[in-house]
Amino acid sequence: MVPRPGAPTDLCCRHEPPGRASVTRCECETLDREFDEEAAQAEVEHYQRNGPDRTTRMLIDLIIAAGVRDAELLDIGGGIGAVQHALLAAGASRAVGVDASSAYLNAARQEAERRDLDGRISQVHGDFLVLAPETAAAEIVTLDRVVCCYGDMGALVSRSARKARRLYGLVVPRDTWWMRLAAAAYAAVGRLTRNRYRFYVHRLRSIDAILRREGLRPLSARRTMTWHVLVYERPGATPAGR
């Protein structure tokens, strides 16, 4: 699927054909509710004042260091589009953003217009796992603080990794006791308030094993108290700009 730049395509929770087991996997409605207009507006204001968050900046820097000239980007769960803007400004050719939150996608579209980048960015609304079969591969794939929003880490990581022709960048919570405690507290509040959204701390070792199985190898990494910023590469892949 190659959507028209600038025009959001709405495919949230579109069910797969009968017989496919993954219909119940769609967490799109929960994500759409969690990342609502209020959250998107707050993100945009923060971004316009301060630029990308610290770990997003780290991810951007690591990917730019690995080369982005003329590359196409697939940004899954890109929120308001900070990674897309930075990589396009650094020489990437175009970007596709796939996000389950319609509010974030609307904010991303407006922000792209404001930066005169809307002609190079396509936005698709939906759960990446549902959209994966018709989503084109890209030289660079990013998931910035996305895997921690999704229960089926194995499917999200493996299917997104298959789309990465050269680089795969992700930001995930560190699997430390304090992050597990934060996730448990979040879940307890969610149960009380009947909010089905969860913050997941998936095992880094499992994520790494899946990425290696998909043919990727670690290239660079940074770490903060709470997050891992990781970039993997596909050995032998040639950058578009060479």
Ligand X SMILES: C[S@@+](CC[C@H](N)C(=O)[O-])C[C@H]1O[C@@H](n2cnc3c(N)ncnc32)[C@H](O)[C@@H]1O
Per CB under 6 A, which region of 13-21, 145-153, 162-170, 210-218 contacts ligand X? 145-153
Distance CA 240, CA 237 (A): 9
Residue numbers 105-144 binding ligand X by CB under 6 A? 127-129, 144
CB of 236 to ligand X, least distance (A): 29
Stretch that binds ligand X, among 95-103, 110-118, 182-190, 217-225 (CB under 6 A): 95-103
Smaller CB separation from ligand X, 161 or 240? 161
Residues 170-209, interacting with ligand X (CB under 6 A): none
Task: Supply the DSSP string of 26-89, one letter for each residue.
Answer: --HHHHHHHS-HHHHHHHHHHHHHH-S-HHHHHHHHHHHHT--TT-EEEEET-TTTHHHHHHHH
H helices of the chain, in order, are 28-34, 37-50, 54-65, 82-89, 102-114, 128-131, 153-162, 177-193, 204-213
Contacts with ligand X by CB under 6 A: the residue count is 21
Determine if 104 is a binding residue for ligand X (CB under 6 A): yes
Judging by beta carbons within 10 Å of its beta carbon (0-12, 13-18, 19+), is residue 22 exposed, middle or buried?
middle
For residue 103, the minimal CB distance to ligand X (Å) is 9
Instruction: Report the alpha-carbon distance of residue 217 to residue 138 in Å, rounded.
Output: 17
At its nearest, how many Å lie between ligand X and the CB of residue 232? Answer: 17
CB-based contacts of 57, cutoff 8 Å, min separation 6: 51
- What is d(CA 36, CA 20) in angstroms, rounded to the nearest whole number? 29
Is residue 146 involved in binding ligand X (CB under 6 A)?
yes
Asked if 44 touches ligand X (CB under 6 A), the answer is: no
Q: How far is the CB of 129 from ligand X (least distance, A)?
A: 6
By CB under 6 A, the residues from 2 to 41 that bind ligand X are 31, 35
Identify which range of 71-79, 85-93, 174-182, 190-198 contacts ligand X by CB under 6 A: 71-79
- Whether the Cβ atoms of residue 8 and residue 105 lie closer than 8 Å to each other: yes
* Nearest alpha carbon to residue 137 among 240, 241, 229: 240
Residue 31 CB, nearest distance to ligand X (Å)? Answer: 4
Tell me, what DSSP letter sits at residue 151?
Answer: S
Minimal CB distance to ligand X: which residue?
77
Is residue 92 within the footprint of ligand X (CB under 6 A)? no
Q: How far is the CB of 226 from ligand X (least distance, A)?
A: 13
Q: Which two tokens stand for residue 88?
A: 């396009």
Binding site for ligand X (CB under 6 A): 31, 35, 56, 76-79, 98-101, 104, 127-129, 144-146, 149-150, 156
